[in-house]
Amino acid sequence: MSSGHQHHFYKRLSFWVPFTMIIITTLIIFSIATDDTPTKSLDEPLLNEHPSPDEVAGVFEVYEFNGTGDETTEGFEIENGLAMIDLTHEGEGSFSVQLNDQSGDSQTLVDVTGGFDGRLFMSSEETEQYTLAIQAEDNWSISVDQNLPESIDDEPHQLTGSGYEAIYIGLTEGDRQFNITHDGDEAFLVTLNQSFVLVDESGEFDDTITVEITSDQFAVIEIQAYDNWSIEIE
């Protein structure tokens, strides 16, 4: 290549190199800016404020059932509001529980094989009669409790466990970080207030989810899993 051509080539190269670097830098910045964890918004509070003393422990009857094998419980009443359902099963056989309302609709609460010890959350928009239909091969026990805890803490929350759990938590207005992990190969579901899905995955999970809390409130975080999990809220 002649010296004239070389000079022309390097002159063109000196023009394109900075221009190319600007494009690459812009793409990198754009990629970083758009890689933020999406923010979800919790718009409908479960409770705006803690209930008064006449609404906490001891106000509602706690329904308790236990037995061995198949059984349909007697009817019990859930008033308009919230309830926690604790279920245990001993043995290696199958264990299935259905919640039936007075209109004939049913909801499967648990359908597992082997031992079980967990808590589920339910909400009722009106006062209604329910029954529980249990299919089991071994001993089981179930309690249904509408009483709220005497105190509910605000974040930060450090929650750990294994299996099914439901917990009342306080959340303050603003963007809250949910750092969630799950060990194991089975299904893993995490919800707020029953219908607001944070995680619905199978297998191991380790991620941070940002949730916009639109007002100070109390909520229920519910975990359905068969393995170890942890949730840090800050």
- Please give the radius of gyration of the chain, using alpha carbons only, rounded to the nearest integer: 27
CA distance 43 to 57: 28
Instruction: With beta carbons less than 8 A apart as the criterion, state whether 99 and 122 touch.
Output: yes
Of the pLDDT bands very low, low, confident and very high (cuts 50, 70, 90), residue 148 is confident
CA distance 178 to 170: 13
- The reported pLDDT for the residue numbered 54 is 54
Of the pLDDT bands very low, low, confident and very high (cuts 50, 70, 90), residue 6 is very low
Domain that holds residue 8: 1-35
131 Cβ contact partners less than 8 Å away, ≥ 6 residues apart: 72, 73, 74, 75, 76, 99, 100
User: Is 111's pLDDT higher than 90?
Assistant: yes
- The reported pLDDT for the residue numbered 35 is 43
Provide the CATH number for the domain around residue 192: 2.60.120
- The reported pLDDT for the residue numbered 121 is 93
Of the pLDDT bands very low, low, confident and very high (cuts 50, 70, 90), residue 217 is confident
Per residue in 8-65, pLDDT (tens digit) is 444 454 544 454 454 444 444 444 444 444 456 665 555 555 555 555 656 788 999 9
Residues 169 and 156 in one domain: yes
Residues 5 and 117 in one domain: no
Residues 6 and 122 in one domain: no
Whole-number mean pLDDT of the chain? 82
Residues 230 and 175 in one domain: yes
Residues 121 and 164 in one domain: no
Residues 199 and 229 in one domain: yes
- The reported pLDDT for the residue numbered 19 is 46
Q: For the whole model, what pTM was predicted? A: 0.77
Q: How many domains does the chain have?
A: 3
Q: How far is CA 56 from the centre of its chain?
A: 24
CA distance 36 to 200: 20
Residues 165 and 194 in one domain: yes
CA distance 78 to 63: 10
- The reported pLDDT for the residue numbered 209 is 94
User: Is 70's pLDDT higher than 50?
Assistant: yes
Residues 64 and 142 in one domain: yes
Provide the CATH number for the domain around residue 87: 2.60.120.1540
Residues 94 and 65 in one domain: yes
Residues 154 and 234 in one domain: yes
CA distance 227 to 209: 20
User: Is 79's pLDDT higher than 80?
Assistant: yes
